[in-house]
């Protein structure tokens, strides 16, 4: 009996410690989002075509909104009680929101790649840096989501079934 209580205490303590690590990662992610915005602004400064400049501005605003939604959803997932995670599993509703925003950001990378192909050679390096930065952000978000979904739960399969969440297919790099 004492061993089972001790084991349960260790499991709950471990889950709480994982939540503290996730909170530190959230602060690092917010800094990464600002870095992507900075790279997009630098690319805008170097591009002389007003039509392309306007497209980049729209993408920059959308990526900022997506980043905020991702941060909010991941924070909600991280703030879920360790006991709830043990019993019901992670918050699949917010995980679905994060996956939706990941797809949105992947589409933005594709748009930026198309824009880059239209640019003169002198303006391409700034755009390539912005695209690489956004891809790095995507990889970090995917890693944070995978980390938030890890862990043991007793009835997580029921929660996943009821929410309609399906496990993500392998991550493929965007061209």
Give 109-166 pLDDT, tens digit per residue.
999 999 999 888 888 898 999 999 999 999 999 999 999 988 888 887 777 777 777 7
- The whole-model pTM stands at 0.75
| Confidence (pLDDT) at 11 | 53
Find all residues with CB under 8 Å of 34, minimum gap 6, and list them: none
**Residue 151: which region, alpha, beta or left (left: phi > 0; alpha: psi -120 to 50)?**
left
Q: How far apart are CA 153 and CA 80, in angstroms?
A: 13
Give the list of residues 6+ apart from residue 66 with CB closer than 8 angstroms, or none: 101, 104, 105, 108
Cα three-residue angle 174-139-53, rounded to 5 degrees: 60
User: What's the pLDDT tens digit per position in 39-63?
Assistant: 888 888 888 888 888 998 999 999 8
């Amino acid at each position: 009996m004492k061993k089972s209580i001790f084991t349960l205490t260790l499991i709950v303590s471990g889950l709480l410690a994982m939540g503290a690590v996730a909170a530190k990662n959230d602060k690092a992610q917010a800094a990464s989002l600002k870095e992507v915005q900075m790279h997009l602004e630098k690319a805008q400064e170097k591009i002389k075509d007003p039509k392309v400049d306007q497209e980049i501005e729209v993408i920059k605003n959308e990526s900022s909104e997506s980043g905020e939604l991702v941060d909010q959803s991941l924070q909600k997932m991280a703030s879920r009680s360790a006991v709830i995670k043990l019993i019901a599993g992670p918050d699949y509703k917010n995980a679905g929101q994060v996956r939706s925003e990941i797809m949105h950001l992947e589409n933005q990378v594709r748009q930026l790649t198309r824009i880059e192909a239209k640019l003169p050679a002198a303006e391409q390096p700034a755009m390539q840096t912005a695209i690489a930065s956004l891809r790095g952000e995507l990889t970090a978000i995917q890693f944070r989501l995978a980390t938030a979904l890890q862990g043991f739960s007793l009835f997580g399969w029921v929660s996943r079934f009821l929410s309609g969440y399906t496990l993500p297919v392998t991550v493929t790099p965007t061209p």
